[in-house]
Amino acid sequence: MILNITILAFGLLSGSQDQIIRRYGFISDQLFVSPSSISLSSSDILIRLFSSMFIHTNIAHLAFNTLALVYIGGYAERSVGILRYILIYILTGIAGALFYGAISIFVLGNNHTVLIGASGAISGVLGIAAAAGNIRAYYWLLIQIVFAIVGSFTAISIAFTAHIGGFIAGVLLTKILIIVEHKKRIKYLK
């Protein structure tokens, strides 16, 4: 969260927030279109997938993401350990962006929307908690699904599908970690 706060503070104080969003936000059609029409290199697209997780529009955007992280982040971190937590955070942020991009392009036909924010990654953290047995995390997912449906018919500019994609990725990655850990313990006991 420190990186998120620093980037937002720099952008707002320097007046360069819009430039940061344009330069480092993820744009779905740059990944999901034919290679001949891509204006960025593969490395630029990967950088945008990563950097978009650390950019927020304004203080309210960052505050809502921080509240969600405070809501259940500690539980998730204790459930999988700090290194796995960070790995899942990053992978689910990317997965959330990819899920958002696929839905945006192939279902909704929105080609040039810029995705920013840690929502996919934070949703992945909630996915860790859900996979570890914390039922409160599933309530959050249900709310996101309802908002995603409503948002697809209205002008709500929140990427609820990134939230859903990150959550699903968080649950799956955590379940895989649990299975691997279980197999290691069984092998160790034999």
User: Domain 2-189 is of which CATH architecture?
Assistant: Up-down Bundle (1.20)
The string of pLDDT tens digits covering residues 121-131 is: 999 999 999 99
Which 3 state secondary structure label does DSSP give 7?
Answer: helix
Least confident of 94-108, 136-150, 164-178: 136-150
The pTM for the full model equals: 0.85
Say if residue 93's pLDDT is above 90: yes
Handedness of CA 94, 99, 105, 110 (dihedral sign): negative
Q: How many CB atoms lie within 10 A of CB 60?
A: 9
Q: Which of 1, 106, 115 is nearest to 64 (CA)?
A: 1
Residue 35 has pLDDT above 60, yes or no: no
Task: Name 164's Cβ contacts closer than 8 Å, sequence gap at least 6.
Answer: 96, 99, 123, 141, 144, 145, 148
Which of 164, 146, 162 lies closest to 154, judged by CA?
146
Is the pLDDT at 112 greater than 80, yes or no?
Answer: no
Burial of 147 (0-12, 13-18, 19+ CB in 10 A): middle
Q: Span 166-170, mean pLDDT?
A: 95
Q: Which residues are catalytic?
A: 119, 163
pLDDT at 107: 82
User: Distances in Å between the alpha carbon of 181 and those of 115, 175, 178, 184?
Assistant: 34, 10, 5, 5
Contact 57, 117 (CB under 8 A): yes
Mean pLDDT in residue range 41-59 = 89
Query: How high is the mean pLDDT of the chain?
Result: 86
